Each structure stands twice: as structure tokens, then as C-alpha cells.
């Protein structure tokens, strides 16, 4: 493996000083990029794209060709894990992902087992290896998985949903069955992320997209408790370097202290979180990633630059901030907004550091 030409992300995640705030964007390889749309059309379907290591590599690198981003993130989907568990992932055109065999009875839940990633998820690991070769040390590669709770939401509901009523019914009526799903899924996610690290992922992120739909107590019991198990089971080093972990709970702003104590190296913040308060509360313990409102990118470039500076001012120039959006980039984002954002973050965060000496 080649040495890293740009390790700004890894230094920021370790809360070491950097020349600028590193920036990458959740879902940076995606539909807002015309070149992505072209590759996706050629592949025939999202799943064909995600399951081809060559095409996954191609789209993973596309945003890096356009913008001077500080990290690549594996192009994949969090539902590869339920798919590997036999739940049958497919994408209905124009809708979201669907699982053909959601977990709706005790027998199916009892039969659930954690898949061997080197078998059923080999295509992802092949993609990680191929992306690392293609990156050739330019920037680090981030691997990822859904949190056990977020995966369980889809595994029980069978699709995305406003309120996940089937999941919630199970949670309140038969919590022991949900715990069984979460235990198996936590093992599956741990094995999957470790396999990604072995294949070459230099940092990993856990996406807890739906943890914010839980109550205060439910978040600890059903989401954070299992994320903690995953974090405890992760390989901490690869190629002689620490492999940092980032935990992102959308809607988790009320639980930052608990999230920061979960064993992760960095906490992802959605756009509703006050970055100043987050710095004060947990900034001495973990790095912070975020948190521009993705909708700010709908505005013209000058307005985007203003909002980027506001976010950088809120975090301040101290080490340990990775600039990102507070949620995945929208497919309706103009490409020029992203160009303005990346330029402003790199430029302005340098001046912040110079000002404080």
C-alpha cells in the first residue's frame, strides 16, 4: 500500500492540528453528479452498480476528480448486510430500497444469522481493494455500515417509512425479539466493518439514520447499546496506523454525551446541532464531523460560502473538526454549489488557523 499523500482527515479525526478543516460529503458519489448518472444508467440498476467492484470504484472516485476532497467513501448501500442475511434487497424505480422478506415472525427472527462477509459480501471487499489501488494514497478511504438499529428498522419494516410502525410495534409489544435481531445484526456489522478494514478501509463510519426516532431511554436500549458493541469489536489498527471510527446518529443532538462515550473516535452531527455546544460538551473527548444543512446547497454559490463560514466559525479553528454536511447530499444539489462549498471550506479554514496563529 502506498503512503498517504493527504492524511488531513486522519489527523483531524485524531484531533491533531491540520492546515485546514478536512472536508468530505456524505453521499458525495451520487445522483447530483452527471457522470454518476451516466455510469448508473450504463449499469442498468443501482444494485448492479453497487455489486460491481469496477463500477463502484469508478463512482467512488468521481467526486474526487471534480473537487479537492480530503477523503473517499466507499460507494455502497447500508442494506447490503440485510441482503447478505437473505432478506432480498431490491430497488423499486423512483422509490427507495425494499426488502422482499422482512422479519415479521418469530421463526424468521430465530433463523437470522450473521453472514460471513468474505462470502456474501465479497463484492464489497473487492471494491474496497480496487478503490484503494485506484486512489494510490491520494486520500484515505472511509468504509461504512448502517447501525444495528437502523438496519433493524428496514429489516422489520421492509422499506423506508415515516415512522416505521412495524418496527415500533415489535419494539413495544415484543422487545425481546427486537433484541435478538439487534444482537445478530451487531455481530454482522462488526464482522463486515472488520472485513472492510482488512481489505483496506482507513476509517469507518456507522450510520444511525433512524436512531433519532427513538425515545431517550429507547435510544440507549435499542440503538446506542448495540453501536457500542460494534465499536468495541472493531479492529483498531491497520498498516500500523489507527483506524478511526465515526458514529453518526441523525436526530441524536440530545444524546451527544452518551454518543461521545460510546467508544467512537468522532461523532457525526446533523445540521440541527449547535456546534459550539458540541465543542464544549464533547470536543475534548472526540473529534466532530458536520454539520452544514444539506439544503443550504440549494442556494447560489455566494450564499453557500456564507453558510460554510458560519459553520466553520461555530466549530472554531481548534483541531478535531471534519467538515461535512449534516446529512447526505440531495440529488437536486447544483454541482457549482458543491464546488463553492469545498473551495470556501479549504480557504476560510486556513485563514482561521492563521488568525489564531
For the annotated catalytic residues, the residue numbers are 27, 31, 40, 77, 154
Using CB under 8 A as the binding rule, whether residue 159 contacts a second copy is answered as no
The CA-atom distances, in angstroms, between 55 and each of 36, 38, 49, 106, 211 are 10, 11, 6, 38, 31
> Interface residues for a second copy in 196-215 (CB under 8 A)?
212-215
Q: From residue 326 to residue 345, what is the string marking binding to a second copy with x (rule CB under 8 A)?
A: x---x-x-------------
Q: Is 42 exposed, middle or buried (0-12, 13-18, 19+ CB in 10 A)?
A: exposed
Contact between 141 and 74 under an 8 Å Cβ cutoff? The reply is: yes
Q: Which stretch binds a second copy (CB under 8 A): 12-20, 73-81, 99-107, 294-302?
A: 294-302
Of 263, 293, 316, 350, the one binding a second copy (CB under 8 A) is 293
Which CB, 236 or 276, lies closer to a second copy? 276
Could you tell me the smallest distance in angstroms from the CB atom of residue 242 to a second copy? 31
Q: Is 136 in the site for a second copy (CB under 8 A)?
A: no
**What does the alpha-carbon distance between residue 256 and residue 306 come to, in Å, rounded to a whole number?**
26
Distance of CA 10 to the CA centre of its chain: 15
Query: Is 70:25 a contact under the CB 8 Å cutoff?
Result: no
Nearer to a second copy, 112 or 304 (CB): 304
SS3 string of 193-207?
HHHHHHHCCCEEEEE
The distance of closest approach from Cβ of residue 169 to a second copy in the complex, given in angstroms and rounded to an integer, is 4
**Cα–Cα dist 223/105, whole Å:** 21
Nearer to a second copy, 51 or 168 (CB): 168
- Binding stretches for a second copy (CB under 8 A): 163-165, 168-169, 171-173, 212-219, 251, 253-254, 271-275, 277, 293-296, 298-300, 303-304, 307, 310, 326, 330, 332
Amino acid at each position: 500500500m502506498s503512503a498517504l499523500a493527504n492524511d488531513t482527515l486522519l489527523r483531524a479525526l485524531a484531533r491533531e492540528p491540520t492546515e485546514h478543516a478536512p472536508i468530505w460529503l456524505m453521499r458525495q458519489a451520487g445522483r447530483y453528479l452527471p457522470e454518476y448518472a451516466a455510469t448508473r444508467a450504463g449499469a442498468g440498476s443501482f444494485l448492479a452498480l453497487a455489486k460491481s467492484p469496477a463500477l463502484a470504484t469508478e463512482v467512488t472516485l468521481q467526486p474526487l476528480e471534480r473537487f479537492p476532497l480530503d477523503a473517499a467513501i466507499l460507494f455502497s448501500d447500508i442494506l447490503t448486510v440485510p441482503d447478505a442475511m437473505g432478506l432480498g434487497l431490491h430497488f423499486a424505480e423512483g422509490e427507495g430500497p425494499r426488502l422482499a422478506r422482512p422479519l415479521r415472525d418469530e421463526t424468521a427472527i430465530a433463523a437470522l444469522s450473521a453472514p460471513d462477509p468474505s462470502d456474501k459480501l465479497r463484492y464489497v471487499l473487492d471494491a474496497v481493494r480496487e478503490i484503494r489501488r485506484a486512489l494510490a494514497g491520494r486520500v484515505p478511504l472511509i468504509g461504512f455500515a448502517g447501525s444495528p438499529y437502523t438496519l433493524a428498522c428496514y429489516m422489520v419494516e421492509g422499506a423506508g417509512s415515516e415512522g416505521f410502525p412495524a418496527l415500533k410495534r415489535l419494539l413495544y409489544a415484543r422487545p425481546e425479539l427486537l433484541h435478538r435481531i439487534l444482537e445478530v445484526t451487531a455481530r454482522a456489522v462488526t464482522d463486515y466493518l472488520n472485513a472492510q478494514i482488512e481489505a483496506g478501509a482507513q476509517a469507518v463510519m456507522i450510520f444511525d439514520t433512524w436512531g433519532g426516532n427513538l425515545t431517550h431511554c429507547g435510544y440507549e436500549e435499542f440503538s446506542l447499546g448495540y453501536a457500542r458493541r460494534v465499536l468495541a469489536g472493531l479492529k483498531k489498527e491497520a498498516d500500523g496506523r489507527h483506524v478511526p471510527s465515526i458514529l453518526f446518529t441523525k436526530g441524536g443532538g440530545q444524546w451527544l454525551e452518551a454518543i461521545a462515550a460510546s467508544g467512537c473516535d468522532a461523532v457525526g452531527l446533523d445540521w440541527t446541532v449547535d456546534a459550539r455546544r458540541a465543542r464544549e460538551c464533547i470536543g475534548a473527548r472526540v473529534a466532530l464531523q458536520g454539520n452544514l444543512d444539506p439544503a443550504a446547497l440549494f442556494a447560489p454559490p455566494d450564499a453557500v460560502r456564507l453558510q460554510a463560514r458560519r459553520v466553520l466559525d461555530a466549530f472554531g479553528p481548534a483541531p478535531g473538526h471534519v467538515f461535512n454536511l449534516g446529512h447526505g447530499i440531495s440529488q437536486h444539489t447544483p454541482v457549482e454549489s458543491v464546488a463553492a462549498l469545498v473551495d470556501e471550506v479549504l480557504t476560510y479554514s486556513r485563514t482561521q488557523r492563521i488568525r489564531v496563529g
